[in-house]
Every structure is written in structure tokens, then in C-alpha cells.
Amino acid sequence: MGLTANSPFSLLLIFLIVVLLFGTKKLQSVGEDLGKALKGFKKGMRETQDEVEENKKN
């Protein structure tokens, strides 16, 4: 059984190494920041789309 980039075992191993290096609190913080950034991006896209539709009406 070799360690390839696609094997579930290698992905699990990488995840465990990341958890050991950064800890769960740091990963939670990164996840929260990523979620907030994604939410802000979606809001900006929605506002831009609304402006485009409003300009088409005028």
C-alpha cells in the first residue's frame, strides 16, 4: 500500500499533522475567518448584481 496523493489514508495523515502543528483552536479560528470572508464576498457579489439590474432598468 503506497502513499499516493489520492488515497484516503494520506489525506487523513495530512489532516492529523496539520492538527498537531496548529492545534484545533487555530484551525477553528481560520475556519471562522474563512467563513466570514466568504460571506462578505457573497454579499458584495449580490450587491453588485443588484446594481447591474438597477442600471438595466434605468
Domain ranges of the chain: 23-58
pTM of the model: 0.56
Residue 7 sits at φ, ψ, to 5 deg, of -75, 140
Is 2 a residue whose pLDDT tops 70? no
pLDDT value, residue 5: 63
pLDDT band with cut points at 50, 70 and 90 for residue 36:
very high
Q: What is the mean pLDDT of the chain?
A: 87
Q: Which residues contact 13 (CB under 8 A, 6 or more apart)?
A: 3
